[in-house]
Amino acid sequence: MGELRLMKGNEAVAEAAIRAGCDGYFGYPITPQSEVMEYLMVERPYETSGMVVLQAESEVAAINMLYGGAGTGKMVMTSSSSPGVSLMQEGISYLAGAELPALIVNIVRGGPGLGTIQPSQADYFQAVKGGGHGDYHMIVYAPASVQEMADFVQIGFDVAFKYRTPVMILSDGAIGQMMEKVYLADPVARLTDEEVVARCPWASNGRPMSRGHNIITSLDLDPAGQERLNLVLQEKYREIEETEVRFEMIDCEDAEYIFVAFGLSARICQKAMQLARNKGIKVGLFRPITVFPFPKNEIRELGLKVKGMLVVEMNAGQMIEDVQLSVGCNIPIKHYGRFGGIIPTPDEVLKALEEKIIGG
C-alpha cells in the first residue's frame, strides 16, 4: 500500500528510517541536515517502534555510537553535513575495518573549512575514495530526488548488512531541503533481539555458552593477519563492484554528446538537455547512482559511441577523474563546475557544452 507524502529530503530520510525498522539514530545538529533529527524527535519512534533516537555530544560520539550499535547487530544510522562528516572519518574507517553495517547520510554543503551552508558536491572524493585512514570503501548512493532519499535508506540498510559494510547516502543541501512528493513504503517491524542474534552470528550482543566469545575490532597487530583482513575487504569491494552498480541513462541512444552528472547536478543537466535538443544538439545524460561502485564499464561502452562528455559537478572536478579513468583519452572529457554553494543553471551548463566540447 504505502503512502504518498509531500516532504523535504531530510524528512524523507527520517521517515524512511522509521519505516525501514531502523533500531537507532545518533546524530548532532548541523545545517543543512538538522531536519533529520528534528523530524525524529517530533515523531518519537521510541514510543512506537522502539527505535532509539539520541542527540550525541558531537559527530565523533555519534559515529562511535554507530560502531557500538552496529557491533551488536542492530540497524543504526546517522546523518550530518560536510564538516561533521569530516569529524566522523576515523569512526567510518573503524566501521569498515571491523566490517560493520551502518548507514551514514551526508547532506553536503560547500567547503573547505566551515565553508557555507549552501549545497555542494565537493565531498565526492571523501565519500568514494575512502575519506578516513586505510584502504577501504563505502557503498555510496547519490540520490537526485526526495524519492531516492527515502528509497536509499532501505536499500542502504539491506546492502550494509549483506556486505557488512558502512553505506553512505551522498546528497546535498538542496535535495535535503527541497520538498517533493515521495512514495513511502509501509512500515516494517524492527527485528526482535532474537532475530538480530540469528541474523548476525558475528555480533557482540551477549555470549551464550554454546559459542565462543565474539570480538568486534579492526585491530590485528600481526602484519600477516592485517594483510589478510585487507584482502578480505578488497575481495568484498570487488564483489560490490560486480553486483551493486546502479546508474541511469537518459536519451543516450542517439546522443553525440553526454552529460555525466550525479545527484542534483543530474537534475540540472536534464533541463540543459532539453535546451540543447531544442537547438538540435543531441545530448544524453549518464547519471551514476552509485558513485562507489562507479559504473565504469557502462560509461566506458558509452564512451565508444559519442564525440565527447561534459562532467557537471558542484565542485572543482572530482568525479571527472573516475570518468576519465573509465573512458580513457579517445574523446574529449571536460569538467564544468560551480562551487562554494553556487548551483549551476541549465544555460551555463549548455554554454559549457558548446564551448568546451562541441567547439573545443
Partner 1 sequence: MEEKFAHPELRKPEHLVYKTTDLMVDCPLSYCPGCGHGVVHRMLMEVLEEKEIASKTIGVNPVGCSVLAYDFMNIDMLGAAHGRAPAVATAIKRLWPDHYVFTYQGDGDLAAIGTAETIHACNRGENFTIIFINNGIYGMTGGQMAPTTLPGMRTSTSPYGRDIEIMGHPLKITELIAQLPGTYYVTRQSVQTPSAVRKTKKALRKAFDLQDQKKGISFVEVVSNCNSGWKMTPVQSNIWMEENMFPVYPLGDIKVDGELVTRS
Contacting residues toward partner 1, per CB under 8 A = 23-24, 26, 52, 54, 56-58, 60-62, 64-69, 71-72, 74, 76, 90-91, 94, 98, 193, 203-209, 212-219
Residue among 288, 342, 333, 286 nearest 315 (CA): 342
Q: Least separation, in Å, of the C-beta of 208 and partner 1? A: 5
CB of 327 to partner 1, least distance (A): 39
- The C-alpha cell 545518533 sits at 26
Secondary structure letter of residue 114 according to DSSP: T
Nearer of residues 77 and 312 to partner 1, judged by Cβ = 77
Q: Residue 243 and residue 224: Cα distance in Å, rounded?
A: 29
Query: What are 152's three cell numbers?
Result: 536509499
Sign of the CA dihedral running 319, 323, 328, 331: negative
Closer CB to partner 1, residue 208 or residue 223? Answer: 208
Minimum Å gap between C-beta 176 and partner 1 is 24
Task: Provide the minimum distance between the beta carbon of 212 and partner 1 in the complex, in angstroms, as a whole number.
Answer: 8
Minimal distance, residue 198 CB to partner 1, in Å = 15
**248: Cα separation from own chain's centroid:** 16
Give 32-43 as a DSSP string.
TSTHHHHHHHHH
CB 101 within 8 A of CB 330: no
Amino acid at 283: V
Shortest distance (Å) from residue 58 CB to partner 1: 6
Instruction: Tell me whether residue 8 or residue 74 sits nearer to partner 1 (CB atom).
Output: 74
Peptide bond into 143 cis (omega under 30): no
Measured from the CB atom, the residue of 91 and 341 that comes closer to partner 1 is: 91
Cell numbers for 231: 584482502
Toward partner 1, which CB reaches closer, 94 or 336? 94
Phi first, then psi, for residue 315 (nearest 5°) are -165, 180
Minimum separation from the CB atom of position 153 to partner 1 (A): 18
Residue 79 β-bridge partners: 105
How far is the CA of 211 from the CAs of 63, 196, 202, in angstroms? 29, 16, 11
Whole-angstrom Cα distance, residue 315 to residue 125?
A: 10
* C-alpha to C-alpha distances, 207 to 76, 130, 192, 213, nearest whole angstrom: 21, 33, 17, 6
Give least dist CB 218 to partner 1, A.
Answer: 7
Closer CB to partner 1, 218 or 270, in the complex: 218
Least CB distance from residue 172 to partner 1, whole Å?
27
Distance CA 221, CA 229 (A): 11
Helix (H) / strand (E) containing 268: helix 263-278
Residue type, 132: G
Of 19 and 74, the one with the shorter C-beta distance to partner 1 is 74
Quick one: 220 or 298, whose CB is closer to partner 1? 220
Cβ proximity to partner 1, 213 vs 329, nearer residue: 213
